[in-house]
Amino acid sequence: MIPRTVDAPRTHGSPAADPATPAVLLSGVTRVFGVAPAVVRVGLRVERGETLLLRGPNGAGKSTLLRIVATALSPTYGSGSVLGFDLLRDRDEIRRRCELLGHRTRLYEDLTARENLRFVCTLYGLDPSRVGPALERAGLADAADDRVSGYSQGMRQRVAVARALLRRPELLLLDEPYAGLDEEAKEVVDDAVRDAGAEGRTVILATHDPGRGDMAGRTLLMDGGRLVPAGSASS
Amino acid sequence: MNLLRQSVAMAAKDLRIELRGRYALSAILPFAGTLLIVFGLSLGPGRTLLQETAPGLLWLAVLFASVLAFRRAYEAEGEDGALEGLLLAPMDKAAVFLGKAAAVAAQLLALEVAVITLVVGLFDLSLGGAPFVLAGAFVLGTVGLAAVGSLFGVLAESPRAREAIFPLLVLPLATPVLVAGVKATSLATTGRGGQAGGWLGLLVAFDLVFLAAGTLVYPYLLED
């Protein structure tokens, strides 16, 4: 019987406090949905404080890879650590320090933006007084008490950005964060990425938007579920 | 303490969503009412037969209403990936189970008051015999239904299993609640409430088993 994961290194013992531990360290990570592999034997090392840009065509596996790093998905094979914590065994430690901003905004339609963020505060044990400034910074101060069901896609994405601002995670994972946003809202995302970088936090940004990502220190391409050398992706 | 705080937050969030969406009022209550009226008409005008079958029809209406209530409770989590947000929060995942169970139990108890009123009017059912036994049966039965629904509702969020799997899982498992609830209600409404102790005990045991199992198992159901 093939084990679900192999060679998972033990990384217990407060390794997150060690600045030499990479923010993300993956080895041979593969994820299969049914019989279709979405991510194939990916090895990745991202240093702490680094801003990494991930590019690639639709279906390249970028979203799956980010979801694996965020512990929303388990790798079918392979091993890794995030902020020094084991990807499989220390999920709660990783989740406490990591924020995934993905295609779906994870908001409740019948709650207001403020209520959505206050709920997040309860789940994460955060001070609810952070909600107001986060919404203001995302440009939603005037609409904070309106129900999300009346928001445009761009406004919803701003609330999701406000959630990321609220938490100030050590590792920020952004999966196509510019989709559906106007230029002003894109600047809000860019500011969040720049601020995270300036504060020494790690960012992995996956985007198609060719005009974005200039703040990244390194760019990687993904195609067919694999990380490929720059310039060889199919689109 | 965290578990309690997070469970209360989950329940409050679900109840707020329900109060704003008014799904129970606009869909579940009319459904339960229609079910009772249709069954009542199909049984004919015989007063004795209606009174004898009323406890069973009442609990059937509550059972089907609970299926709708849980589908709705989990739909709100699936609409924009909110369930993944709960998965990624560093919280005790049992709080999701307990919070959802509490919120739906509160909705069902409110619904039961309306449904019982309807049954009393339609089927001329007497409630005076043993009101505490009757109340105990409904509270305990509702807690049991809420525990089963909250536990298996998360499985119905799987994209392929979505519509069919939830009632297929929940209805057979809820059979002990249905049987014990009908028996206890029947005894309470015919002035024999003193004989309902065994059925109430079965409901207590069911509640304890499913609340404990849900608290332990739910985190694994939520994970990938």
A97 CB contacts (<8 Å, ≥6 apart)? A16, A82, A83, A85, A169, A170, A171
CA terminus-to-terminus distance, chain B = 27
Q: A2 is written with which tokens?
A: 């093939």
* pLDDT mean over A68-84: 95
Contact call for B88 and A70, based on CB within 8 A:
yes
- Structural contact between residues A21 and A29, judged by C-beta atoms closer than 8 angstroms: no
Closest to B96 (Cα-Cα) out of B138, B157, B142, B137? B157
Contact call for A96 and B86, based on CB within 8 A:
no
Rounded to whole angstroms, the Cα distance separating B174 from A191 reads 52
Reduced 3-state DSSP string for B57-93: HHHHHHHHHHHHHHHHHHHHHHCCCHHHHHHHCCCCC
Amino acid occupying residue B9: A
**How does pLDDT run across A152-165, given as a tens digit for each residue?**
888 998 999 899 88
Residue B185 has pLDDT above 50, yes or no: yes
Rounded to whole angstroms, the Cα distance separating B65 from A2 reads 44
Q: B181 is written with which tokens?
A: 């609830």
Question: Which residues from A are below 8 Å from B21, CB to CB?
Answer: 110
Contact call for B80 and A109, based on CB within 8 A:
yes
Question: Which residues from B are below 8 Å from A111, CB to CB?
Answer: 13, 16-17, 20
Rounded to whole angstroms, the Cα distance separating A175 from A24 reads 16
Work out the pLDDT band at B1, boundaries 50, 70, 90: low
Is B152 buried (19+), middle (13-18) or exposed (0-12) by CB count in 10 A? Answer: buried
- What angle (nearest 5°) sits at the alpha carbon of residue B148, between those of residues B147 and B150? 65
B139/chain A closest Cα distance in angstroms: 28
What pLDDT does residue A6 have?
Answer: 36
**CB nearest B17 (choices: A70, A102, A108):** A108
CA dist A136 to A106, A122, A163, B53, Å?
20, 20, 12, 59
Closest to B158 (Cα-Cα) out of B78, B215, B102? B78
Contact call for B89 and A106, based on CB within 8 A:
no
**CB nearest B76 (choices: A74, A108, A122):** A108
- Which residues of B lie inside 8 Å of A (Cβ-Cβ)? 2, 5-6, 9, 13, 16-17, 20-21, 76, 79-82, 84-91, 223-224
Set out the domains of chain A in order of their start, with CATH numbers.
49-72+88-228 (3.40.50.300)
Closest to B75 (Cα-Cα) out of B30, B29, B21? B21
Work out the pLDDT band at B25, boundaries 50, 70, 90: confident
Work out the pLDDT band at A229, boundaries 50, 70, 90: low
Instruction: Choose, out of A94, A99, A108, A114, the residue to mutate when testing the contact with B (most B CBs < 10 Å).
Output: A108
Residue A171 has pLDDT above 90, yes or no: yes
Mean pLDDT of chain A: 86
Taking the CB of residue B90, how many other CB atoms lie within 10 A of it?
15
Looking at the DSSP bridge assignments, the partners of residue A77 are A30
Question: Which residues from A are below 8 Å from B82, CB to CB?
Answer: 106-108
Is B88 buried (19+), middle (13-18) or exposed (0-12) by CB count in 10 A? Answer: buried
- Structural contact between residues B173 and B148, judged by C-beta atoms closer than 8 angstroms: yes
Contact call for B84 and A104, based on CB within 8 A:
yes
Contact call for A108 and B86, based on CB within 8 A:
no
Kindly provide the ipTM of the predicted complex, given to two decimals.
0.85
Contact call for A72 and B79, based on CB within 8 A:
no
A166 CB contacts (<8 Å, ≥6 apart)? A117, A120, A121, A126, A130, A131, A134
B95/chain A closest Cα distance in angstroms: 10
* pLDDT mean over A48-63: 92
**How does pLDDT run across B89-114, given as a tens digit for each residue?**
989 999 999 999 999 999 999 999 99
Closest to B117 (Cα-Cα) out of B93, B105, B134, B100? B134
Length of chain B measured in residues: 224
Q: At what angle do helices B175-189 and B47-78 cross, to 10 degrees?
A: 140
Q: At what angle do helices B47-78 and B2-21 cross, to 10 degrees?
A: 110
Contact call for A105 and B91, based on CB within 8 A:
no
Percent of chain B with pLDDT over 70: 96
Question: Which residues from A are below 8 Å from B84, CB to CB?
Answer: 72, 102, 104, 106
Contacts A–B by Cβ distance under 8 A: 71
What pLDDT does residue A174 have?
Answer: 94
- Which residue would you say has higher pLDDT here, A162 or A181? A162
B5/chain A closest Cα distance in angstroms: 8
